[in-house]
Structure 1
Amino acid sequence: MRWIAALTALSLAASAGAADMSPPPEIKPAAADPLAAPRRLIAAKDWVGALAALRAQPQAGSADWHNLMGYTLRKQATPQFAEAEAQYLEALRIDPSHRGANEYLGELYVMKGDLAKARERLAVLEKACPSGCEQREDLQKAIAGAAK
């Protein structure tokens, strides 16, 4: 009888241990950046490749996508200012406080010699980041350089 009790105890212990041996919950990776490839191409200054990558995966509702498209169009060997401006404006329609789009649109205006419009973008960035941010500082430098 003792051996039956011992066997039962071992059996219960084994099944309890088996419950502890279940596999851990599945850990899902963070969502991948859908704009990672164009960002890498932009970082490498491969404007043609970045433009192709962006056009291959249009994202009409993404302010980031429109901002990167505008930036890429502006940086082409032959800048496409009108199309770049339209992309920046669409990014700002989606997200009016988008720092990158405000900075890059301001830089586009500096390139076109329209410092009044560039200063309008700077005013938006001053409100968006009153303590300062990279985008605000970069646009300030671009305006200061053009005003000399």
Structure 2
Amino acid sequence: MIKTLIACLALLAGAAFAADTPSGPTASERMATARKAIDAKDWNKALFELSQAAREEPRNADVHNLLGYTYRKKATPDLPKAFEEYNTALKLNPKHKGAHEYIGEAYLMDKKPAEAEKHLAALEQICGNKTCEEYEDLAKAIADYKDKNK
């Protein structure tokens, strides 16, 4: 009788443990899937994965930065949502180089080059120079914008 009881308890304990085991992908797995979707320009899939990752890790600046990027790059850009996500990323990590670059590019899309230049200046401070990739990319985007809008 005691052996049967112990066996039943062991089975129940195993079943309880299995129920607590996460069954879905982790935020980092979702990020990897989202990056592949972004590379393929599958914005809907990227938004789904990144939205799930943001629910799982709401304080992850990288997730919010990529959400902003995805909203900005969609066939019909959603700049208000992009700005919201970039600003969240920058609140979480004020020195997030990617978020500064991307929000600057979003400001150019919104015809606000002065705002983009503020983020370029922030990148110069963060990088300590004008040669980090994010600085160079945003500087080129600003120069291109000015050439097209003379």
What TM-score bracket applies, with the shorter chain setting the length? 0.7 to 0.9
Q: Deviations over 1:97-142 (max 9, x none)?
A: 1000000000000111101100000001001112321111110011
Q: Deviations over 1:29-61 (max 9, x none)?
A: xx9934111111112221111011112232210
Q: Deviations over 1:53-74 (max 9, x none)?
A: 1122322100000000000000
Q: Residue 119 of structure 2 corresponds to which residue in structure 1? A: 121
Q: How does the TM-score come out when normalised to structure 1?
A: 0.75
Q: Secondary structure at the match of 1:97?
A: coil
Superposition misfits of 4+ residues, deviation over 4 angstroms: none
Q: Residue 52 of structure 1 corresponds to which residue in structure 2? A: 48
Q: Residue 33 of structure 1 corresponds to which residue in structure 2? A: 28
Q: Deviations over 1:61-104 (max 9, x none)?
A: 00000000000000111100001001000000000010000000
Cα distance change on mapping 1:32 and 1:84 into 2, 3 Å = closer
Cα distance change on mapping 1:143 and 1:62 into 2, 3 Å = same
Q: Residue 4 of structure 1 corresponds to which residue in structure 2? A: none
Equivalent residues in 2 for 1:56-71, closer than 5 Å: 56-58=52-54, 59-71=57-69
What is the CA–CA distance in structure 2 between the aligned matches of 1:61 and 1:32, rounded to whole Å?
A: 11
Kindly report the root-mean-square deviation, in angstroms, between the aligned alpha carbons of the 2 structures: 1.6
Kindly indicate whether the alpha-carbon contact (under 8 Å) linking 2:37 and 2:46 is maintained by their aligned counterparts in 1.
yes
Residue type at the aligned position of 2:133:
E
Q: Secondary structure at the match of 1:116?
A: helix
Q: Which of the pair is proportionally richer in helix?
A: 2
Q: Secondary structure at the match of 2:28?
A: coil
- In structure 2, stretches of 5+ residues that fail to align are 1-25
Q: Residue 96 of structure 2 corresponds to which residue in structure 1? A: 98
Residue type at the aligned position of 2:68:
G
- In structure 1, stretches of 5+ residues that fail to align are 1-30
Q: How does the TM-score come out when normalised to structure 2?
A: 0.74
Residues 1:107 and 2:105 are matched in the alignment = yes
Q: Residue 136 of structure 1 corresponds to which residue in structure 2? A: 135
